[in-house]
């Protein structure tokens, strides 16, 4: 009975051994010489300007929320496309209503200037 657990024990021992060897190797290779260049924040190769805790414009969060809202549209469209043959005309009308509401929301945000990226 216990012989069937031997492969699991071997797998666990290999996993533990691999993690220990990896941590020891990382400790050996690590160069613990922090300098001013290593301690600077890195942002796409551009030197940081200002404080990292500055306030962001509300437009940044507005654009992010609009992206999430319009990205959810694709999440709803995939299952609809997969089961369109079973939903038939009712499913098509429901998706057209859904898309119409999203387009109205998009034009509303556009007219209010929410999509303009000005600092």
4 assigned to some structural domain: yes
47 assigned to some structural domain: no
- Contact predicate 59/117, CB 8 Å: yes
41 assigned to some structural domain: no
For residue 78, give the CATH number of its domain: 1.20.58.1610
Q: What is the pLDDT of residue 13?
A: 97
Q: What is the pLDDT of residue 118?
A: 63
Q: How far is CA 93 from CA 30, 47, 70, 99, 104, in A?
A: 61, 52, 19, 10, 16
Three-state DSSP state, 41 = coil
| Domain count for the chain | 2
Residues 116 and 64 in one domain: yes
64 assigned to some structural domain: yes
DSSP 4: G
97 assigned to some structural domain: yes
18 assigned to some structural domain: yes
Q: What is the pLDDT of residue 45?
A: 66
115 assigned to some structural domain: yes
What does the alpha-carbon distance between residue 57 and residue 109 come to, in Å, rounded to a whole number? 17
pTM above 0.75, yes or no: no
Q: What is the pLDDT of residue 24?
A: 94
**Tens-level pLDDT at each residue, the chain (119 residues):** 788 899 999 999 999 999 999 999 998 888 777 777 777 766 666 666 777 677 777 778 888 888 888 888 878 888 888 998 898 899 999 999 988 998 898 898 889 887 776 65
Q: Residue 80 sits in which domain range? A: 55-119
């Amino acid at each position: 009975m216990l012989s069937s657990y031997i492969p699991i024990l071997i797998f666990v021992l290999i996993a533990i051994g691999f993690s220990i060897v990896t941590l020891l190797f990382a400790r050996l290779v690590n160069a613990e010489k922090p300098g001013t260049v290593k301690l600077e924040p890195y942002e796409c190769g551009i030197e940081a300007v200002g404080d990292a805790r500055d306030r962001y414009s509300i437009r940044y969060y507005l654009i992010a929320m609009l992206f999430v809202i319009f990205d959810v549209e694709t999440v709803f469209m995939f299952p609809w496309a997969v089961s369109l043959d079973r939903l038939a005309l009712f499913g098509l009308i429901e998706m057209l209503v859904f898309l119409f509401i999203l387009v109205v929301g998009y034009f509303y945000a556009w007219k209010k200037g929410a999509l303009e990226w000005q600092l």
